[in-house]
Structures are given as C-alpha cells and as structure tokens.
Amino acid sequence: MDKLKIAVIGTGHLGKFHIKMLKQIDNCELIGIYDVDSSAAKSAGDEFRVKVFNSLEELLGNVEAVSIATITGTHHEVAKRCLENNLHTFIEKPITADIIHAEELVKIAKEKNLNLQVGHIERFNPALISLEKYLIKPMFIQTDRLAQFNPRGTDVAVVLDLMIHDIDIILSLIKSEVKEIQASGVAVVSNSIDIANARIEFENGAVANVTASRISQKKMRKMRIFQRDNYIALDFITGVSEVYRLVSTDEKLNSGFISFGEIGIGENKKMVVYEQPEIKEINALKYELDLFVKSILKKEPPVVSGEDGLRALKVAKHIMEKIDESRRKLNI
C-alpha cells in the first residue's frame, strides 16, 4: 500500500504532538510542516528533523493531505485553501469559529469528494473505546470537564474550548435531534466565558447536563450515563470506565462481574452487577490520525466527519447564545 503524503500546518503546542504522532504512523509519510511563525516552524523542524515549508503555497503543491493545528480563528481560511487545492484535511476542534464557515468547508469537501475529519479526540479516549461491546442508549448524561487556568485556549469561550468535547460525544451517543437548550455562564479571568453549564433536551426525551470550567483548582473530565438497567461512569483522565447493570438471575455471569445482590421478586428478580471493562492501551491522538490516514487510503468516510464537527459547533453556538441571553437578563 502506498504511503499518504501529509504535512502539518501549525507548529505550536498541539501541532508538535501532531508531528510526533504522524512520524510514528507507518502508512503515511510526513513530508513537511508550516507555520506563519517561521521561528516556531524552524524550531519544530529542527526538533523533529522534518522539512519546513517557507509558504503555504509551497506546501499545498507537495502533499495529498494536511493536519491543521492552528488557532481556531484561522481554521476556516487555512482549511478552505487546502480543500480547494484538493487536499484531504484533518482539522482540530472546533471545526471553525463560525457556523457559516464550517458549512462552507463541509460543502467544499463534499463537492470535491475529500475526507474532512475533525479532531474531537475524546471520541478515542480509552474510557469510551472500552464500552464498544455495550449497547449505549442514554436517557440522562451528566458531564463535568474542569481544568486549571491556562492562557492557551482563551481565544475562544470555554464552550468551544472544553465543553465541545462532551457535546460531540453526547451527540454521537444520543441518536435524536436537539429539542431545547438552557444555559448560563460567566467570564471570570478572561474576556470570554470561563465557566458554563448547559441543559440539552432531545426529541426522544433524553437530557444532558453539561458543565465546563477552566478556572478549577483540580482537573476533572468525567461523564455519567444513565439508561434503562445501566449506570456507566467514565473518567477521561484515567481512561477507566465502570458499568453497573441489572441482569436476569439466570444469565450466565462472566468471572469479571461483582454481584451486589438481587432486587425484585419472582420473574422480575434481577441481579445488580459491576464490571470494569478492560482499559485499552490507546494513544488517542495517534489513533485518530491513523484512522484519518486509513480512511483516505481505503477511500472510506472519516470517523468524525466534517458534518459531525458542524453539528457539535451548532449546539455549542446555541449554548453560547443562551448564555448571552441569561447574562443580559442579569445585566452582567
């Protein structure tokens, strides 16, 4: 199988991880890198021993695909040029800062039959991947994503910086259209929203309560899923998931189950069991980039499509609009 010729655009903190991971993927060849900051590009080029392109135009003519890790405000401009030059494009989340720009990228990719994948990395977190064997049909989801303050990322509100991770996961798990959103949030240390909470109601009756903060003393990235006969807890920091289930008493139990006793009577009697799925040894960034490369070589749709990124952005923007409404009412 031929190797995919790829380049990285953006050589900052995250871009360097993209460079490192792509150099480890067998079925692609990292041709080079580019950054508008030539000194940053040179530093990354020296560190990873990779060619530095002097301009975006030069890069576009030498590769088949790109991985974009620039700041959110530049996503649209850079990705549009890449797609218009017939390059398959991986772009970090959020897909763009504005819905109209995201729609344009999705449209171009579709018209040119190009793969556009959005870097919603938590889709590939070991905690979530370990649940593949379970039927997930949530009726209520609670998420808490808290981070210590870091000036990097404050160019956008916490909804687009952190909460959008959980929005994307929730939309991938709840197979229903959004019915209503309520939200509140405040700016504390930056000029944009630093802490936010949203309640998302879906047409099928499912509800998600989502909290994100970048001014926490401790880090937390947890999700709790409630559904019929199941309670599932995920920790995205440790990669561990825990499953509590109700099973029939005559169901053959695996040795990994821990029983908490029985509930009900007669034919309705069930056992409460606990299990911790095996933790998958996965580097989430390498895994998603590898899947992007394979999707191109195999001519298959990307795992997290541009449409997925657009849908998550629309919900995030709706949340931000609701926050603005609540702040106006409170004269904040």
One domain for residues 138 and 209: yes
Pair of tokens at residue 211: 């909290």
Q: What is the pLDDT of residue 190?
A: 79
Number of domains in the chain: 2
pLDDT tens sequence for the chain (332 residues): 589 999 999 999 999 999 999 999 999 999 999 999 999 999 999 999 999 999 999 999 999 999 999 999 999 999 999 999 999 999 999 999 999 999 999 999 999 999 999 999 999 999 999 999 999 999 999 999 999 887 665 667 899 999 999 999 999 999 999 999 999 999 888 788 899 999 999 999 999 999 999 998 899 999 999 999 999 999 999 999 999 988 776 665 555 566 666 666 666 777 888 899 998 889 999 999 999 999 999 999 999 999 999 999 999 999 999 998 877 776 65
One domain for residues 241 and 103: no
One domain for residues 158 and 207: yes
> 115: which DSSP letter?
-
Domain that holds residue 236: 124-282+317-326
Q: Is 310 among the domain residues?
A: no
Angle among Cα 134, 94, 204 to the nearest 5 degrees reads 45
Q: What is the pLDDT of residue 7?
A: 98
Q: What is the pTM of this model?
A: 0.92
Separation CA 78–CA 15 (nearest Å)? 14
Q: Is 97 among the domain residues?
A: yes
Q: Is 332 among the domain residues?
A: no
CATH number for the domain harbouring residue 50: 3.40.50.720
Q: Are 295 and 117 in contact (CB under 8 A)?
A: yes
One domain for residues 82 and 164: no
One domain for residues 137 and 237: yes
One domain for residues 196 and 99: no
Please, where are the H alpha helices in 204-305? 284-297
Q: Are 76 and 96 in contact (CB under 8 A)?
A: yes
Q: Which long-range contacts (CB under 8 A, 24 or more apart) does 295-304 make?
A: 295/115, 295/117, 296/4, 296/64, 296/65, 296/88, 296/115, 297/1, 297/2, 297/4, 297/27, 301/115, 302/115, 302/116, 302/117, 303/117, 303/123, 304/117, 304/118, 304/119, 304/120, 304/123, 304/168
Q: What is the pLDDT of residue 152?
A: 64
Q: Is 176 among the domain residues?
A: yes
Q: What is the pLDDT of residue 332?
A: 59
Separation CA 266–CA 268 (nearest Å)? 5
